[in-house]
Amino acid sequence: MNPRSSQSAVDQILELAIAPSWSSVGYDIRRRMFGWDAAALPRLDGRVIVLTGFTSGIGRAAASALGALGATLHLVGRDPGRVAATSAELAGEGVEVSTSIADLSDLDAVRRIAAEIIEQHPSIDVLIHNAGALTRTYATSPQGYETTVAAQVLGPFLLTTLLLEPLRAARGRVLTVASGGMYAERLSVADLEMTPDDYDGVRAYARAKRAQVELTREWTRRGDGTVSFHTMHPGWADTPGVVESLPTFHRITRPFLRDPAAGADTLVWLAAVDQDELGTSGGFWLDRRRRSISKLPWTDAPAGERYRLWSWCTERTGLD
């Protein structure tokens, strides 16, 4: 067996096992095995990257890494104090930064920041959807939608649509940070938005992440190839969001969790490398490798369900 085949076999065995694949163990093995070197990533001088959810965890690590490569960052966050503090830290690192304040569950706020971004950046190379927390209690957005689906499905769908022209101008790409938790759910538009009576934060989060992945396939199908779309999941990373939303999981798995930089590695790589290295649009990635979007056959999207999801999003965002 040649070295490349051996590496692929090890990678596939890790992925089948899931836990070692998604932990720091999988990342460390792959990083050494494939010889990843952050210094080898191409420079991003003059490239404009819009990143949501940047004040902590994976988003913060990605912002630092992308800024270190020379990218111009437009950062979106919902807490003015944290946005100001984190953007000042990044500016202190020599990163060129501009910001917008918005809760992405508020569709009116999304429209406002889209106009701000376009005014400052007529050309956008990469749009990264990273914002999105696991919310334990039921709540609704200003437009009356459950906040998990509003912030992680409707808000990003609307922002992507509104920024398509500057993305097309740069032949850019749209990257979405999903979660391995989506593997437990099958896309069902009828069940996507939970009610107060049946709300479960973990399932709502997983369903929203499944919707993100399926929408990426639908964006690819409907697009003309000018803009490419990819999703990724970071594995199990030790972030403030995990500590807050999944304290028991964090306590048990903490010795094996990835640090935020490891969780952000594939995201930074997807933003930096040439499109030829990524291949066709619509990929779902972990540790710089394309992965299947279903591990169990009964989680495959039913025929027509992506179309129904698209229609559901266009109707609720007022784009129909």
Q: H helices of the chain, where?
A: 3-17, 19-22, 24-34, 57-68, 80-92, 107-120, 147-149, 155-162, 164-169, 189-192, 201-222, 240-245, 247-253, 260-272, 275-278, 305-316
3-state SS class at 218: helix
Q: Is 205 a catalytic residue?
A: yes
**249: which 2 tokens?**
């999981």
Kindly list the domain boundaries of the chain, sorted by start residue.
Answer: 1-35, 41-316
The pLDDT tens digits along the chain (320 residues) read 566 778 888 899 889 888 999 999 999 999 999 999 766 899 999 999 999 999 999 999 999 999 999 999 999 999 999 999 999 999 999 999 999 999 999 999 999 999 999 999 999 999 999 998 889 899 999 999 999 999 999 999 999 999 999 999 999 999 999 999 999 999 999 999 999 999 999 999 999 999 999 999 999 999 999 999 999 999 999 888 888 888 888 888 888 899 999 999 999 999 999 999 999 999 999 999 999 999 988 999 999 999 999 999 999 999 97
Q: Rounded distance, CA 120 to CA 113, Å? A: 11
The pTM of this model reads 0.96
* 145, 183, 205, 307: the active-site residue: 205
Q: Give the model's pLDDT for residue 250.
A: 84
CATH code given to domain 41-316: 3.40.50.720
Q: Give the model's pLDDT for residue 109.
A: 98
Q: Rounded distance, CA 190 to CA 123, Å? A: 37
Q: Rounded distance, CA 262 to CA 306, Å? A: 31
What would the pLDDT profile of 138-155 be if each residue is shown by its tens digit?
999 999 999 999 999 999
